[in-house]
Amino acid sequence: MPTPDFILALREHVGHDLLWLTGVTAVVIDEEGRVLLHQRSDTGQWALISGILEPGEQPAVAVVREAFEETGVHVEVERISSVITDAPVTYPNGDRVQYLDIAFRCRPVGGEARVNDDESLAVGWFAPDDLPPLADHVRERLVHALKDEPAPYFVQPSPGRSGGFS
């Protein structure tokens, strides 16, 4: 996946140190209940559509942009389905990041599912009971979006819980 220019500029100052970034995920579900997935070109894994917010960009606008860029599908945002802080990630080049991910349940409103940029190897619609292998964090976002609950999932604070990662 190409690294956004603003992150490259930040890396000139912070090197490989941990960056806190905001990500968005589109959980696109059609009227048949199928889920839109793409096979990522960087890892080869199947995943939900996701990306990084550009500076000043609104999250729902970003998720609509990402869905079209990666899959050729125009979407309409229905609701926020989850807000989750992921564990820190270290990329092969040594860069460290941690994402606050805002997942949106979306519905398709146009376009055709296809590989639409160099971030995807394949794109397809899958029944929830016939999914390709998915990473745990991807499956977690999907589970929350498939629930018929208007409120988004988030980790509830509890006494003695810091909520951080070590």
- 116-120-125-129 Cα dihedral, nearest 10 degrees: -170
Give pLDDT, residue 38: 97
Calpha distance 146→82 (Å, rounded): 11
Which tens digit of pLDDT belongs to each residue from 13-58? 889 999 999 999 999 999 999 999 999 998 899 999 999 999 999 9
Give pLDDT, residue 103: 98
Q: How is domain 13-148 classified at the CATH fold level? A: Nucleoside Triphosphate Pyrophosphohydrolase (3.90.79)
Which tens digit of pLDDT belongs to each residue from 85-117? 999 999 889 999 999 999 999 999 999 999 999
- Residue 51: its H or E element: strand 49-52
For residue 78 the two structure tokens come to 């229905």
Give the pLDDT band (50/70/90) at residue 158: confident
Calpha distance 26→73 (Å, rounded): 11
Give the pLDDT band (50/70/90) at residue 161: low
Nearest to 51 by CA among 113, 95, 109, 7: 7
Calpha distance 66→103 (Å, rounded): 12
Q: Does pLDDT of 163 surpass 90?
A: no
Calpha distance 102→112 (Å, rounded): 24
Sign of the CA dihedral running 107, 108, 113, 119: negative
Give pLDDT, residue 7: 87
Q: How many CB atoms lie within 10 A of CB 70?
A: 25
- Residue 138: its H or E element: helix 136-146
